[in-house]
Amino acid sequence: MDFRNTLEFSQQLDREDPLSSYRDEFICPLINGKRAIYFTGNSLGLQPKRTQEYVNEVMNDWAGLAVEGHFKAEKAWWDYHERLAEPLSAVVGALPEEITVMNTLTVNLHLLMVSFYRPEGKRFKILCEEKAFPSDQYMLNSQVRFHGYDPEEAIVEVAKREGEHHWRTEDVIQKIEELGDELALVLIGGVNYYNGQVFDMEEITRAGKRAGAFVGWDLAHAAGNVLLKLHDWDVDFAAWCSYKYMNSGPGNVSGVYIHKRYHGMKDIPRFEGWWGTRKESRFLMEPEFEPMPNAEAWQLSNAPILSVAPYLASLTLFEEVGMERLRAKSTILTAYLEFIMKEVARDVKGNFEIITPKERGCQLSVFLHGEGKQVFHELMNRGVITDWREPNVIRLAPTPFYNSFEEMYRFGELLKNILAE
């Protein structure tokens, strides 16, 4: 598409956008009395207007039914989480029985490591990306120490090449092949939080499986952002938070994927609780654990319904639109933002660099040489909510549900004025 840096062109793109009406489905903060340009859906998605209805329904059931809400509410609490499996399976490319919702992301990664990090003999090493998200680093370090290994020896990081801002797939695969039968697990963030790069999950999974390792993905920045085919790619497990692109609210529950080949296994290493035992026998309070025949076998406790309800509300939007249409708009929206940024750099000789490669989702990470933090604060003062990451990066996430093409143009004009000043 031939872009133009004009208000009229951006408004034309919005008129032609089949998803433009969904912008009104979300509540956006106001700055100086005007709707903010919200670029931080990669950190916390906006609240869907329909969320309150779903939460109020639970509150009313609690008030009117009390404990009987577990079984007599219209959306009974004891199986409330099951309603999320089918819409989530469409978002991440899985079978519904491979999906469950529970806990929070790092908790779930720890629980999944019980099943899928099984060091033995010379096969004890974990491959991850250089400078993974800190919580992943802490989780991996603590897991290998728990098993009696030195993280310096057990955790292998794939580095970016000197002078480059992104990873190369061939370097990841080469490292997997080098480790060979020493490799126990590959666990990488599907979309890197810092530079916005989408890893080639299919190829990396294939290479990890050839090496005889388990392969899992942290999809915190991928779920609801890029197209995923976890089952078809033969991924062993994955987990993601729900509060970024999936708009479920701050710190909300995590989604989990576990390939069906591991279902129904009583002898798989796993931490277990009563919500993972078969529904038919759960309330018989029997001493023997009988696992659910799906991913719910990894459930520990009954679901936090007031957290799950906003997630279900947001998933109704994903069901209506579908990931293919969201991704199609995202691709054009992000490309238009990149075009605008380059126009600004040319017009005012802006001293910044886009470090996100073409393999990307919604996010553009911009390295601001010089007075980056001043630009960040000035953007906030003028109604643009962005995200700052040290040492000098602003992350911009034009989200297809609620960002418009006109906002990309207006952002460019604001940035141009700030840099000119």
Please report the pLDDT score of residue 371 as a whole number: 67
Give the pLDDT score at 1. 84
How far apart (Å, rounded) are the C-alpha atoms in residues 189 and 204?
A: 12
Domains observed in the chain: 7-47+322-420 (3.90.1150.10), 53-321 (3.40.640.10)
Distance, in Å, from the CA atom of 158 to the CA atom of 197, rounded to the nearest integer, reads 14
Q: According to the model, what pLDDT value does residue 349 have?
A: 74
Please write the tens of the pLDDT for every residue from 350-368: 678 999 999 999 999 998 8
pLDDT over 90 percentage in the chain? 91
Percent of the chain predicted with pLDDT > 70? 99
Q: 90-105: per-residue pLDDT in tens?
A: 999 999 999 999 999 9
Q: What is the pLDDT of residue 390?
A: 82
Can you give the pLDDT at residue 26? 98
CB-based burial of residue 43 (10 Å sphere; 0-12 exposed, 13-18 middle, 19+ buried)?
Answer: middle
**Under 8 Å between Cβ of 27 and 46:** yes
- pLDDT tens, 29-58? 999 999 999 999 999 999 999 999 999 999
Angle at 374 between CA 371 and CA 376, to 5 degrees: 110
Confidence (pLDDT) at 391: 81
Q: Give me 297's structure tokens.
A: 């076998």
pLDDT at 165 over 70: yes
For 214, list phi and psi in degrees, rounded to 5: -75, 150
pLDDT, tens digit, for every residue of 65-121?
999 999 999 999 999 999 999 999 999 999 999 999 999 999 999 999 999 999 999
Quick one: average pLDDT of 293-314? 97
CA 396 to chain centre: 15
Q: What is the pLDDT of residue 421?
A: 82
